[in-house]
Amino acid sequence: MGRWNSTTVPDFILMGLTDSAETQLVLSVLFLLIYLVTVLGNTEMIMIIRLDPQLHSPMYFFLTHLSFLDLSYSSVITPKTLQNLLTSTKSISFLGCFTQMFFFIVFGAAECLLLSSMAYDRYVAICSPLHYSVIMSTRLCCALLAGSYVMGSVYSTVNAVSMSRLHFCNSNVIQHFFCDVSPILALSCSDTSEVELIIFICAGSNLLLSLIIISGSYLSILSTILKINSTAGKKKAFSTCASHLLGVTIFYSTMIFTYLKPKTSYSLGRDQVASVFYTIVIPMMNPLIYSLRNKEVKCAAFRFLQKTACSRQLK
């Protein structure tokens, strides 16, 4: 099934996470529940922020798009994964595979840069509170957001174009549950050294740029917080960025573990677990992190529920 004599395969076979039918059933139920929570949580987050005037600030503007990106790249991966778990059809077309990979990289790279924009927003809010509204203008927020999407699209286009030139003449079996970069490169019968270098530069520059901005922002934030005399003031300042810092730590640790490590240390099992975490689990966790640890979001959600209940009673 997995051998081809031509230089281009018509489709790929996604082997998934396990061959056990029982385990596949358990995973399908688990992933379906996680995906439903992801869709509901991120959609609710977007609606609450959009409908509540008190949340119309730069921080929540970025948080709205973070929810959109989480919802988007989870939807690129999870539905196809569920189909493969629930049916015997595990194939994906050549075009479909590269389309999935393209949009996954677009949304993933854009999220990295968006998280750095959110870190800069927190830096301005804590280190320059009197000038916050002037610095974080609508124009700057829109520019940072547009830059995230544009750079994500550029990175993804470069990766997709370079990989589409590879020849696949041997196996068409992808040892993964979605079309990720490393498993596809492993199938190619071409010399992949140049493509690997391009991908490493793109992924490395994206992660490095965003990490420099995030690290610089939080070092300045920490320095400012330590200068605050009152304990209550320190707690209040730290609480404004605690949720973002937690989200950044979880997201970047799994991304770096998966993509920025030596090829010799590649392990299918470990990489699949990490991939499940950042493609399926993290998009579900972000709405919980930013809502449960944020009083303004919880109050806005309560007001939203009250309005919904009142409108139903009036009907």
The pLDDT score that the predictor gives to residue 5 is 38
Tokens of residue 8, six digits: 């281009």
Q: What pLDDT digit, counting tens, does each position of 54-104 carry?
A: 788 898 899 999 999 999 989 999 999 999 888 877 888 888 888 999 999
* Euclidean distance between CA atoms 304 and 49, whole angstroms: 10
Is 1 inside a domain boundary?
Answer: no
Q: Let me know if residue 5 belongs to a domain.
A: no
Instruction: Check which CATH number belongs to the domain holding 51 and give it.
Output: 1.20.1070.10
Measured CA distances, 89 to 154, 184, 284 (Å): 33, 19, 27
**What predicted TM-score, i.e. pTM, was given to this entire model?**
0.86
Q: Is residue 2 part of a domain?
A: no
In this predicted model, what pLDDT tens digit does every residue of 191-232 receive, in sequence order?
888 888 888 888 888 888 898 999 999 899 888 888 877 777
Number of domains in the chain: 1
- In angstroms, rounded to a whole number, what is the distance separating the alpha carbons of residues 150 and 115? 15
CB-based burial label for 118 (10 Å; 0-12, 13-18, 19+): buried
**Among 187, 266, 180, which Cα is nearest to 2's?**
187
Per-residue pLDDT tens digits for 122-134: 999 888 989 999 9
Whether 227 is covered by a domain: the verdict is yes
Per-residue pLDDT of 26-53, as tens digits, reads: 999 999 999 999 999 899 889 888 888 8
Does some domain include residue 31?
Answer: yes
Note down the domain range covering 32: 11-314
**279 in a domain, yes or no?**
yes
d(CA 191, CA 274): 27
% of the chain with per-residue pLDDT over 90: 30
Does the residue 209 lie in any domain?
yes
Q: Residue 309: is its pLDDT beyond 60?
A: no
- Tell me, yes or no, whether 177 lies in a domain: yes
Task: Determine phi and psi for 203, rounding to 5 degrees.
Answer: -65, -40
Q: What is the predicted pLDDT for the residue at 244?
A: 77
Helical spans, DSSP H, in the chain: 21-51, 58-86, 94-127, 132-135, 138-164, 181-187, 193-226, 231-259, 268-276, 282-292, 295-314
